[in-house]
């Protein structure tokens, strides 16, 4: 039996992954952005150990969430599922003055990765849209560029893949991988999304707990439990390091060795 923490698991793919894990006998800790959402999460997955509350758009709240997780003890895996989508029609500034999309989708998983005690496995949800992300990493917080929600989302999903590969390289004792679940009919994906919703949570569950040789790898990118090509920059150590340095600058938090 494994113990897994899943961000953004009040609904959508995070909740679906949690259900698959508890049904298989694993121990799961959920996360939601508010008390009401946490209550909703626990009603949906009553076998879960607990649900933690934090607004991932806040650097301070995200750092406190990491401490909440650490107070619960060690975890075998962390699934970085939480994200906001590309529907935001304008740049929404967080309490820290950052783009909401960058804060939740990029900086929060960086902070949690840096501060949560190293698990055996890290799983980052990316997207097929990461292939159109901007690998220059210029203006990460969207302070100078004209706002384009889809581009901001694509950038953030490129960042998630970069985080996964950077930590696979930096932390050889941890299995760190990224995946795309497909364009599916969740609240974010919309009712017309064409991919298989039931298959969408399976890869992250597989990477978090499976002992199959294909799942016990590190620095890989998957779609439906099969390797898939990434944006070329994902493999570029210099780009990985620039992202880590930028996230450290924004958050004031550095990755441990």
Residues marked as catalytic: 153, 157
What is the C-alpha separation between 56 and 164, in angstroms, rounded? Answer: 19
Contact 79, 8 (CB under 8 A): no
- Give the rounded distance of the alpha carbon of 244 from its chain centre: 15
Pairs from 219-222 (Cβ < 8 Å, separation ≥ 24): 219/164, 219/165, 219/168, 219/169, 219/176, 219/177, 220/168, 220/177, 220/178, 221/126, 221/161, 221/164, 221/165, 221/177, 221/178, 221/179, 221/180, 222/177, 222/178, 222/179, 222/180
Counting DSSP H helices and E strands in the chain, the numbers are: 8, 8
The encoded tokens of residue 233 equal 């920059």
The answer for residues whose C-beta is within 8 angstroms of residue 86's C-beta and 6 or more apart is 101, 129, 149, 150, 152, 153, 154
Of 213, 242, 42, 48, give the one whose Cα is nearest residue 140: 242
To which residue do tokens 């090509």 refer? 229
Bridge partners (DSSP) of residue 52 are 31
């Amino acid at each position: 039996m494994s113990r897994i923490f899943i961000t953004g698991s009040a609904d959508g793919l995070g909740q679906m992954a949690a259900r698959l894990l508890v049904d298989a006998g694993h121990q799961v800790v959920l996360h939601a952005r508010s008390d009401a959402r946490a209550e909703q999460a626990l009603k949906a997955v009553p076998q879960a150990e607990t649900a933690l509350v934090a607004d991932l758009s806040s650097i301070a709240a995200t750092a406190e969430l990491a401490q909440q997780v650490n107070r619960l003890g060690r975890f075998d895996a962390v699934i970085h599922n939480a994200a906001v989508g590309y529907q935001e029609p304008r740049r929404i500034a967080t309490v820290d003055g950052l783009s909401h999309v960058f804060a939740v989708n990029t900086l929060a998983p960086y902070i949690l990765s840096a501060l949560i005690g190293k698990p055996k496995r890290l799983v980052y949800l990316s997207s097929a849209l990461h292939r159109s992300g901007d690998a220059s990493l210029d203006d990460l917080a969207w302070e100078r560029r004209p706002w384009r929600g889809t581009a901001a989302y694509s950038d953030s999903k490129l960042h998630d893949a970069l985080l996964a590969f950077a930590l696979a390289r930096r932390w050889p004792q941890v299995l760190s991988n990224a995946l795309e679940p497909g364009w599916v009919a969740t609240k974010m994906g919309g009712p017309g999304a064409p991919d298989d919703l039931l298959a969408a949570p399976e890869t992250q569950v597989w990477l978090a707990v499976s002992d199959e040789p294909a799942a016990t790898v590190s620095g890989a990118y998957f779609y439906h439990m099969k390797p898939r090509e990434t944006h070329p920059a994902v493999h570029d150590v210099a780009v990985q390091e620039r992202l880590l340095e930028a996230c450290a600058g924004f958050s004031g938090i550095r990755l441990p060795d």
